[in-house]
Amino acid sequence: MSYEPDFLYDAGPTGCGELIMNLFLTMKKLESGQIIEVISYDPGAREDLPAWCRMQKHTLLERSDSGKTSHYFIEKG
């Protein structure tokens, strides 16, 4: 399934701590129900982002991987 994001955040090779902090600050600007697409080249994000979504009560709608690049569609809770 494909989602139409309200915001795109390209995290590039940013590691876990910095990626999560930047995403946290970006999500604060969004309204509940809006969707953000996160692009990450950090393999650790594949485990970190789903866990972070659960803790923050956001919904991970979809994750797709293409080589070393992952796309995450997250709905703000």
Going along the chain from its start, the domains and CATH numbers come out as 7-33+43-75 (3.30.110.40)
Q: Are 76 and 34 in contact (CB under 8 A)?
A: yes
> pTM for this structure?
0.91
What's the CA gap between 40 and 19, in Å, rounded?
Answer: 9
Q: Is the pLDDT of residue 8 over 70?
A: yes
Mind listing the pLDDT tens digit for each residue in 20-72? 999 999 999 999 999 999 999 998 898 899 999 999 999 999 999 999 999 99
Which residues are part of the catalytic machinery? 16
Neighbours of 8 (CB within 10 A): 10
